């Protein structure tokens, strides 16, 4: 391939990675724009820019589906525009405001219909959602149905089932949220869900090629940096990081952009359809992917019939025995109508919208 003689070494390195899809990271180059005006409440400015996306360390498996193929490689160059991002995931009290204002019923609160599930017997059509239930003994980690159970009556107001509630949990992440629920909230709030590329750019916090959103060491100076799982999975969450199970937002330090829980605590919906081979497709195209929106349609060879979108960030269930998805750049996925008690979301807002709002005020 012909390369202009004037291209410097750094540029050449980027070029090689983008074209061949290597496993090497090149530096993050932030867009040279300052934040456009005053931050909307609870949001921080993410400058956007060009960065190396994906994860070099690719384990098999995820919280939802063990033995998944390596989907977070190859590392490829991506550019995203700047945007505002919620500093935390959406909390129970924020979602309550939305539910009160709109009367919106989440997927888990709706009784499944005969049209949706034509072959299911009528007595099985009960509103509910999926809950993590620890096993009472050690199990082989090859079948996630051992620890995921459909619980009738589980929904965002009752995250672990009918006997659980949100008392004192105002600042906890809202969970049991299906994709359409997250979308509906975002629309109401005048925001949208992040693309997978926006999420990863933001998660990296200005760093490049680090293992975690805060650096390369899991516990710098012995400090816990994210809510993950300690102890034998899926039997007992030892909670050595201070939390067995979910934690209130802002319980751990923010990343370089001031974003909390970009790794661990709860998985977060992104707007991209999930395709195992999407990064391969981008890398083969070469160059820099500009504001990638994800593939046109979903495809997960592990469950080809299911329409899945991307999850990011990992959760309080993530651990080094099973799925280290708190490693930045790794990916998750989920069927769009399925919520769980470790899945939430946060929103983003493009800069232009905010500029227009400001312009109108003046």
Q: Which residues contact Ca ion (rule: CB under 5 A)?
A: 227, 241, 243, 316
63 binds, among Cu ion, Ca ion, none (CB under 5 to 8 A by kind): Cu ion
325 binds, among Ca ion, Cu ion, none (CB under 5 to 8 A by kind): Cu ion
Residues ≥6 apart with Cβ < 8 Å to 9: none
Q: How far apart are CA 353 and CA 362, in angstroms?
A: 15
Reduced to 3 states, what is the DSSP secondary structure of residue 83?
strand
Q: Measured from the CB atom, is 185 or 322 closer to Cu ion?
A: 322
Q: Measured from the CB atom, is 79 or 308 closer to Cu ion?
A: 308
Reduced to 3 states, what is the DSSP secondary structure of residue 285?
helix
327 binds, among Ca ion, Cu ion, none (CB under 5 to 8 A by kind): none
Instruction: In the chain, count H helices and then E strands.
Output: 6, 13
Q: Which residues pair with 334 in a beta bridge?
A: 309
| Residue 127 · residue 153 · CB < 8 Å | yes
Q: Measured from the CB atom, is 63 or 78 closer to Cu ion?
A: 63
Q: Measured from the CB atom, is 279 or 316 closer to Ca ion?
A: 316
| Cα distances (angstroms) measured from residue 120 to each of 124, 161, 202 | 6, 22, 42
| Residue 172 · residue 91 · CB < 8 Å | yes
Q: Work out whether strand 343-344 and strand 267-273 pair parallel, antiparallel, or are unpaired.
A: parallel
| Cα distances (angstroms) measured from residue 170 to each of 97, 132, 163, 173, 342 | 11, 21, 17, 8, 16
Q: Measured from the CB atom, is 195 or 227 closer to Cu ion?
A: 227
- Joined together, the tokens standing for residue 240 give 């050595």
54 binds, among Cu ion, Ca ion, none (CB under 5 to 8 A by kind): none
Q: Work out whether strand 148-152 and strand 128-132 pair parallel, antiparallel, or are unpaired.
A: antiparallel
- Joined together, the tokens standing for residue 148 give 């995921």
Residues lying near Cu ion in the complex (CB under 5 A): 63, 314, 318, 323, 325
Q: Measured from the CB atom, is 45 or 243 closer to Ca ion?
A: 243
Least distance to Cu ion, CB of residue 148, Å:
12
Reduced to 3 states, what is the DSSP secondary structure of residue 282?
helix
Q: Measured from the CB atom, is 64 or 241 closer to Ca ion?
A: 241
- Joined together, the tokens standing for residue 300 give 């997960």
Q: How far apart are CA 244 and CA 228, in angstroms?
A: 9
Least distance to Cu ion, CB of residue 327, Å:
10
Least distance to Ca ion, CB of residue 121, Å:
39
Reduced to 3 states, what is the DSSP secondary structure of residue 246?
coil
Q: How far apart are CA 177 and CA 98, in angstroms?
A: 13
HSE value, Cβ hemisphere, 13 Å, CA-based, for 219: 8
Q: Measured from the CB atom, is 219 or 285 closer to Ca ion?
A: 219
């Amino acid at each position: 391939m012909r390369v202009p003689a004037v291209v410097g070494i750094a540029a050449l390195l980027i070029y090689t990675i983008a074209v061949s899809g290597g496993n090497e990271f090149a530096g993050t180059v932030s867009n040279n724009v300052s934040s456009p005006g005053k931050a909307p409440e609870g949001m921080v400015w993410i400058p956007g820019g060009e960065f190396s996306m994906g994860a070099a360390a690719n384990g098999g498996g995820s919280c939802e589906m063990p033995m998944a193929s390596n989907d977070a490689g190859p590392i490829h160059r991506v550019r995203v525009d700047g945007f505002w991002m919620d500093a935390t995931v959406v909390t129970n009290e924020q979602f309550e405001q939305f539910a009160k204002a709109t009367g919106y019923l989440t997927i888990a609160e709706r009784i499944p219909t005969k049209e949706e599930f034509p072959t299911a017997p009528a007595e099985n059509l009960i509103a509910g959602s999926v809950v993590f239930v620890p096993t009472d003994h050690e199990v082989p980690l090859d079948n996630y149905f051992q620890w995921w159970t459909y619980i009738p009556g589980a929904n965002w107001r009752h995250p672990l089932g009918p006997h659980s509630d949100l008392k004192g949990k105002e600042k906890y992440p809202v969970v049991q949220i299906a994709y359409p629920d997250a979308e509906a909230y975002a629309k109401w709030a005048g925001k949208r869900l992040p693309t997978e590329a926006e999420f990863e750019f933001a998660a990296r916090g200005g760093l490049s090629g680090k293992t975690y959103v805060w650096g390369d060491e899991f516990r710098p100076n012995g400090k816990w940096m994210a809510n993950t799982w300690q102890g034998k999975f899926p039997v007992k969450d030892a909670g050595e990081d201070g939390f067995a199970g979910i934690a209130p937002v802002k319980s751990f330090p923010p990343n370089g952009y001031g974003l909390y829980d970009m790794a661990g605590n709860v998985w977060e919906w992104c707007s991209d359809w999930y395709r195992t081979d999407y990064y391969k497709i981008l890398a083969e195209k070469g160059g820099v992917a500009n504001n990638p929106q994800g593939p046109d349609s979903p495809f997960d060879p592990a469950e080809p019939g299911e329409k899945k979108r991307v999850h990011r960030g990992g959760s309080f269930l993530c651990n080094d025995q099973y799925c280290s998805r708190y490693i930045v750049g790794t990916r998750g996925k989920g069927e769009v109508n399925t919520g769980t008690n470790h899945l939430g979301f946060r929103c983003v807002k493009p800069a232009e919208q905010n500029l227009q709002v400001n312009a109108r005020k003046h």
